[in-house]
Every structure is written in C-alpha cells, then in structure tokens.
Amino acid sequence: MNENKLKINTLVYQQKISLSTVNYQLKKMGIIKDLFKIKADAANIEIKDLLKEHGNKKIGEVTLAQIYQGMRGITGLVTETSLLDTQEGIRFRGYTIPELQQKLPKAPDGDQPLPEGLFYLMLIGELPTEEDVNHITSVWQRRSHVPNHVFATIDALPITAHPMTMFVTGVMALQTESNFAKEYAKGLNKKDYWSITYDDAMDLIARLPRIAAYIYRRKYKNNEHIQPNGLLDWSGNLAHMMGYEDESFKELMRLYMTIHADHEGGNVSAHTTHLVGSALSDVYLSYAAGMNGLAGPLHGLANQEVIKWIFEMQKELDTQSPTKQQIANYVQKTLTAGKVVPGYGHAVLRKTDPRFTAQMEFGKKHMPNDPLVNTVWNIYETVPPILQSLGKIKNPWPNVDAHSGSLLVHYGMVEYEFYTVLFSVSRALGVLSSLCWDRVLNFPIERPKSVTTAAVKLWLEGKEEIWE
C-alpha cells in the first residue's frame, strides 16, 4: 500500500476526516477494492488496540460435554459479515432480512434486493448505492468467462453424478485460474495476500452462475445450453442460463441468493471455508471444501431432502394435498424410522427462521394457491408441536430449507437434487467476502487443541494437568 493510503487510513482512524468523505471520493472512482482496504486497515488498527487492552479477558468457559457435542455454544471464531441471534435470526452487518429487502437496491421493477448489494454490505460494512451495485454487476459480468476445460471436466463425470459432485468438481477444475496460487508459487509478499485473494474471490463469484447453469442444463435439459445475457444482473442471468425467463422467477433468485448467502461463521460451510483458507489455500480450494460440507444432509442438502420427503409423502398418501392429520401421521412414521424431519431444527436458532418467513411472504404474494406451497405451510403448523413433544429437540421450528424447494417447484424446477447447487452459488457471497476479511486481517492458521478420551480420564483422576 502506498504512503498516501496509509495516511488516509490513519486520519480516518483518528477521526480527523470522515469515512464518508473517503467513501465518496473512492466511490466516484468506482474502486470498491480500495475502499475495502481502507475499511480493513482501520479495522486492523482497532482490533490491535482492542486486543492490547482486553486480550486477556475471558469470554467463556468450556465444559467437557461441549467438546463431545459439536462444540455447541463455544465462541471460537471471528466472522465480520453477519451475526446470528438465537431468537431473531440472522443480521448481515446489523441489518435483518426485512431491512435488507427495504434498503438494498433492486432490479428495475423488482422488489427483492440484488445480492450484489448484500455482497457489498458484507465486504464494506455499509449499505451500497445503486451505482455501487451496478458496478459490481458489471464487474461480475466482465469476469464471468469459464474456460472450456471446466466444462470438459464436468462432462467427464457420469450423468448420474449428483449435481453437487459436478459443482465442486467444476470449481476444483477452475482452480487452475487462481492468481493467488500462481503468485504464491512465484513468491508473494504477505502484505499482498489480501489483494489477490480479493481478485480471485471476484472472479470465482462471477463464474459460479455459469457453472451451476451448465450442470442444470447438462443433467436435466438434454445438454442444451443457454448463453449468458450481458444485460442481466448476477441472479437474473443465472435464471436465464438455467432456462427460466419468468420475471417473478428472477425475483425469486434474487431473494434466494440474498437469504442463503451467510449465517455467521460457525456453520459447516462457512467454518470449513475459513478453516481451509487459514492454511493459505486459495479461494477455489477453500470454497470447494466448504461446499463439500454444504452437500451434507444435515446442512445444505436439507433443501433437497425436504422436497424428496414431501414428494414421498404425497406418493404414499396418493394426494397432492395431505391433511394436517395425514402430515402428523407421516411425521410420526419418519421419526419412528429413526430419521430426522428435514427442514426443521437448528444448531443455534430457537425460533422460526426469518429466511423461512421471507420465503413464505414471497409465496403469499406470487403463488398463494399453489398446493405444494400450501402443504409446506400446513407442515409448518403441524411439525413444531410434534417435535416439541419429544422433549429432546432444542428447536422445533423450520429453517430456511423447509420452504425453498416448494417455490422452485412452482416454476417447474422439480429436479430437487439440484437445489443445493443454488444454495452454494449464494453461499459464495458470504464465505468469500469473509475470506477476504480473513486475509486482510492476516488471521493465522486455525488449529484448536484436541484430546483423547484416555487423556480426559487421566485428567479426571487428577493425573494430568489441563492441556495447553
């Protein structure tokens, strides 16, 4: 970084000039990357001061049970992009989903936020203008080229391969394009890590809709592909390349890409991306690792599991619209078979997921009489009391995945195995803006301590000290 920028940062930090003056100048030049660096430098100084003064303060205690139980409730990470409240759900840089729907720029004639704006918010920490969002759309358009070997690699997989397998394989094939990996191999100064990580992140996000749409058309639409439309926004273009031209489907994609983007840092996909990234693995390697986690049925694959479960229920009961009593019986059957009710429960949330509610509102506006969507609403009225009555489930309420598939089916996207790919495209916004922050704040390699049960027993017998 040059001396002038360092001076600006120091002045900003000392509050001698306002950030809005700097923002205004930089926005005028359209340099989001420089603005990010200025924000990050100010944050860096602040964190250093904070740690100098309070670094030894204890923020919690860890029980033996917690280390055997998925580290639930242990605060062990810093993720700047969003924060989850158990009762009210996710806030992105302080803004709830309804606030984002109100405050983020929208497509012409649209009423859902453009996810480009959410990316800006997560990265920069403040709301974007329409100009900022248009700028990101055009940058992602410009950078969206996917080299042919990526498609050839996907094509090498059998058509029966799961779309998530095709997706992460495609992302891994794209890793040949990582500038970070190339520059690191040549010998990269630590101070420049963040800059190339940022460029890689922008490239990868720009290219994901093309890869996702390619997989959809290859697997489900006779391998007949649709070229990108250079005039569309990121989500609108994804809808277009998948073959969905309905304006309200494009609106659904904008909502979908916004609400699935981030859910603070401890969930499997975000944490994995961060963890792998902490080894200085590039953006492609880190994101692919995270998405392998998203592909698990207890995490992002739950969206396909929900629709599969409802389709199976409809088939077994021979009706498109099961009654609440029939749903209750089917839930009991699922539980008796030792399976989870997909789309219900959460490791942190203790209320109905606001991402579920946002989708319910979309359904009420665009498809209030759709039988499948109504079944999802009937399930919502039926399942929580049943789960609650079991006494062991901490959160009987629906999560994001309980609703998403039914909206897609309404527009004809019945191929539920594809749903987690859509989730992945969206999740890139959160985990990659976070990875940019990890790099710019120079977070070290992650390496928590683990123990064996034998060591725990020795410690309980007083034969071993607490481990360092």
Residue 406 CB, nearest approach to ligand AMX (Å): 14
Should residue 430 be labelled a site residue for ligand AMX when binding is judged by CB under 6 A?
no
Site string for ligand AMX, 252-271 (x = CB under 6 A): ---------------x----
Asked about 200 being catalytic, the answer comes back as no
* Residue among 31, 38, 40 nearest 2 (CA): 38
Residues of the chain by 3-state class (helix, strand, coil), percent to 5:
60, 5, 35
Residue from 163, 345, 405, 430 binding ligand AMX (CB under 6 A): 345
Distinct helix (H) and strand (E) counts, the chain: 22, 2
Q: How far is the C-alpha of 290 from the C-alpha of 420, rounded, in Å? A: 13
Q: Which of residues 18-77 bind ligand AMX (CB under 6 A)?
A: none
Between 47 and 298, CB nearer to ligand AMX: 298
Q: How far is the C-alpha of 79 from the C-alpha of 83, rounded, in Å? A: 8
Between 207 and 299, CB nearer to ligand AMX: 299
Residue 400 CB, nearest approach to ligand AMX (Å): 6
Q: Are 263 and 430 in contact (CB under 8 A)?
A: yes
Sign of CA dihedral 317, 323, 326, 332: positive
Q: What is the DSSP letter of 129?
A: P
Asked about 145 being catalytic, the answer comes back as no
Between 9 and 395, CB nearer to ligand AMX: 395
Asked about 260 being catalytic, the answer comes back as no
Q: How far is the C-alpha of 72 from the C-alpha of 349, rounded, in Å? A: 12
Assign residue 94 a region (left: φ > 0; alpha: ψ between -120 and 50; beta: otherwise): left
Should residue 300 be labelled a site residue for ligand AMX when binding is judged by CB under 6 A?
yes
Pick the catalytic residue from 260, 263, 274, 346.
346
Should residue 356 be labelled a site residue for ligand AMX when binding is judged by CB under 6 A?
no
Site string for ligand AMX, 384-413 (x = CB under 6 A): --------xxxx---xxx------------
Coil/strand/helix, residue 145: coil
Residue 424 CB, nearest approach to ligand AMX (Å): 11
Q: Give the interface with ligand AMX as residue ranges (CB under 6 A).
A: 267, 298-300, 302, 340-347, 392-395, 399-401
Tell me the catalytic residues: 299, 346, 401
